[in-house]
């Protein structure tokens, strides 16, 4: 039972006599938390898959296609594409999204009259769709380690921490327009911001908010970091920042065994984006070793090549099964996958929750159809694994945000 704010007021098998109730023949999981999104990239998802014979297509050539998409995107397009994306995230069982936002300025690279114009459009899209959003405007300053930005990056650029903080502050009223919106901050990556300014951004920023950044997605990035900073990206972050639960490091694909152990023990959390990492040929994150050392992680849809959280969880698990040649990659696989991505995802969005469902906590849930044959025959012991390893969006009856249906099967607009 929920109150008018969508907060859970009772939990139990016995319904109080004075409460009207809607009965649903399904099984509810806590809503999935999407901890990493670049909404505008949904405008090109699946459009960079024709590979010319005799050429090499990798992360860096994909990035050129992504820049071409970013060059002309208007505020209206940003809002339209984000609205469509967020509706489809709800349809896939996500109830919140962290928008890692760097498409800040107009197509000539000049700030909009409202510095946070593009971020405000993302918040408006989330409101239209009904999803929770944490807007994370990030500082983007350089083209690469020690290099000036390329013309195609002009819409992303703030030159100084002062410029970035003005943008961040301008984002506060945008976030205040929607009761389900929150704010985070961060830097794009070590390759996009000077090391001293990464430290200044963290030190001078609002330390009550989650801090996000990309790290160690590509081998070339690790090599350039070694050449420029004398350290690998994750190594540098461990040595120079007070990493803690406040930090959310996206990807961290390429780490040594020592970095993996230290990062896990630092309390910082990793955001894994298996659909995108697979699509871009990034590599495979050392998840078994990281988890064994106590590391925590969330998931994100990043470039949005896949929007199904269960597909992304399977990618994660199957990648590890393939390289370790065993099936029990995690103790109690499905439970571990759902549990860690829920709590780490909540922290990535700046939320504090006690449990999946708890009194006084918002009712955010995705409901799977127990009439579907594979779920109908699963029984309590196998129901969660049956959902995690077999379900797709057609198995979903609906998604609840703050106790209201934000999506119901058959009612998709």
- What tokens does 255 get? 């780490």
The pair of three-digit structure tokens given for residue 312, joined into one six-digit string: 């992304």
Strands 396-401 and 365-369: antiparallel
Task: Tell me if residue 58 is catalytic.
Answer: no
Half-sphere exposure of 23 (CA within 13 A, CB side): 4
- Helical H runs in 218-352? 219-229, 233-240, 257-266, 274-279, 287-292, 309-324, 333-348
- Binding to Zn ion in span 162-191, by CB under 5 A: none
201 φ/ψ angles, rounded to the nearest 5 degrees: -60, -45
Neighbours of 178 (CB within 10 A): 18
Q: How far is the CB of 39 from Zn ion (least distance, A)?
A: 11
Which letter, b or e, does each residue of 297-309 get, where b requires 16 or more Cβ atoms within 10 Å of its Cβ?
bbbbbbbbbbbbb
CB of 315 to Zn ion, least distance (A): 16
State in angstroms the smallest separation of the CB of 176 from Zn ion.
26
| 3-state DSSP percent of the chain in helix, strand and coil, to 5 | 40, 20, 40
CB of residue 173 to Zn ion, shortest distance in Å? 25
Which helix (H) or strand (E) element contains residue 87?
A: helix 75-91
CB of 250 to Zn ion, least distance (A): 6
The Cα 404–Cα 6 span in angstroms is 7
Site size for Zn ion, by CB under 5 A? 1
Instruction: Compute how many other C-beta atoms are within 10 angstroms of the C-beta atom of residue 276.
Output: 27
Contact letters (x/-) for Zn ion, 256-295, by CB under 5 A? ----------------------------------------
**Active-site choice (251, 254, 304, 351):** 251
Q: Which residues in 290-309 contact Zn ion (CB under 5 A)? A: 302
Q: Quick one: which H or E segment has residue 296? A: strand 296-299
- Helix, strand or coil, per DSSP, at residue 1: coil
Of residues 184 and 333, the one with the C-beta less far from Zn ion: 184
* Least distance CB 41 / Zn ion (angstroms): 8
Helix, strand or coil for residue 171?
A: helix
The distance of closest approach from Cβ of residue 355 to Zn ion in the complex, given in angstroms and rounded to an integer, is 29
Q: How many CB atoms lie within 10 A of CB 151?
A: 9
User: CA-to-CA distance for 303 and 273, rounded, in angstroms?
Assistant: 9
CA atoms within 13 A on the CB side of 90: 29
Closest residue to Zn ion, Cβ-based?
302
Nearer to Zn ion, 350 or 393 (CB): 350
Shortest Å, Cβ 321 to Zn ion = 25
Q: Which two tokens stand for residue 175?
A: 């976030």
- φ, ψ for residue 215, nearest 5 deg: -155, 135
The number of CA neighbours under 13 Å toward the Cβ of 167 is 32
> Cα separation of 58 and 268, whole Å?
29
Catalytic one of 302, 317, 369, 402: 302
Residue 302 or residue 312: which is nearer to Zn ion going by CB?
302
Does residue 251 carry a catalytic annotation?
A: yes
Of residues 359-378, those binding Zn ion (CB under 5 A): none
Nearer to Zn ion, 35 or 287 (CB): 35
Contact positions vs Zn ion (CB under 5 A): 302
State the catalytic residues: 251, 302
């Amino acid at each position: 039972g929920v109150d008018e704010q969508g907060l859970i007021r009772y939990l139990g098998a016995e319904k109080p006599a004075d409460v009207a109730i809607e009965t649903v023949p399904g099984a509810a999981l806590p809503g999935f938390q999407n901890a990493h999104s670049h909404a505008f990239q949904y405008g090109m998802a699946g459009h960079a898959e024709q590979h010319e014979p005799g050429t090499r297509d990798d992360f860096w050539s994909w990035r050129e296609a992504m820049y071409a998409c970013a060059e002309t995107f208007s505020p209206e397009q940003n809002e339209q594409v984000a609205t469509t994306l967020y509706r489809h995230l709800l349809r896939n069982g996500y109830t919140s999204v962290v928008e890692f936002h760097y498409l800040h300025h107009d197509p000539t690279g000049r700030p909009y009259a409202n510095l946070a114009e593009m971020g405000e459009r993302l918040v408006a899209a989330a409101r239209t769709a009904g999803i929770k959003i944490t807007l994370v405007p990030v500082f983007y300053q350089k083209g690469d380690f020690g290099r000036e930005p390329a013309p195609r990056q002009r819409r992303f650029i703030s030159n100084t921490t002062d410029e970035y903080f003005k943008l961040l502050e301008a984002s506060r009223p945008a976030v205040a327009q929607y009761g389900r919106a929150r704010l985070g901050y961060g830097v794009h990556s070590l390759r996009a911001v000077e090391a001293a300014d990464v430290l200044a951004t963290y030190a001078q920023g609002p330390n009550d908010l989650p801090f996000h950044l990309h790290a160690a997605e590509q081998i070339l990035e690790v090599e350039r970091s070694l050449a420029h900073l004398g350290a690998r990206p994750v190594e540098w972050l461990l040595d120079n920042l007070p990493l803690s639960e406040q930090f959310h490091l996206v990807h961290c694909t390429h780490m040594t065994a020592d970095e993996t152990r230290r990062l896990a023990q630092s309390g910082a959390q990793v955001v894994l984006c298996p659909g995108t990492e697979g699509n871009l040929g990034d590599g495979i994150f050392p998840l078994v070793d990281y988890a064994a050392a106590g590391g925590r992680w969330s998931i994100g849809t990043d470039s949005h090549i896949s929007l199904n959280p269960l597909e992304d969880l399977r990618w994660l698990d199957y990648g590890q099964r393939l390289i370790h040649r065993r099936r029990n990659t995690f103790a109690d696989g499905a439970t571990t996958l759902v549990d860690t991505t829920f709590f780490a995802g909540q922290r990535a969005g700046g939320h504090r929750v006690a449990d999946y469902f708890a009194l006084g906590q918002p009712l955010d849930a995705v409901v799977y159809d127990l009439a579907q044959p594979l779920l109908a025959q699963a029984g309590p012991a196998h129901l969660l694994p049956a959902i995690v390893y077999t379900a797709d969006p057609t198995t979903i009856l609906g998604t609840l945000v703050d106790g209201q249906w934000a999506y119901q099967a058959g009612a998709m607009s």
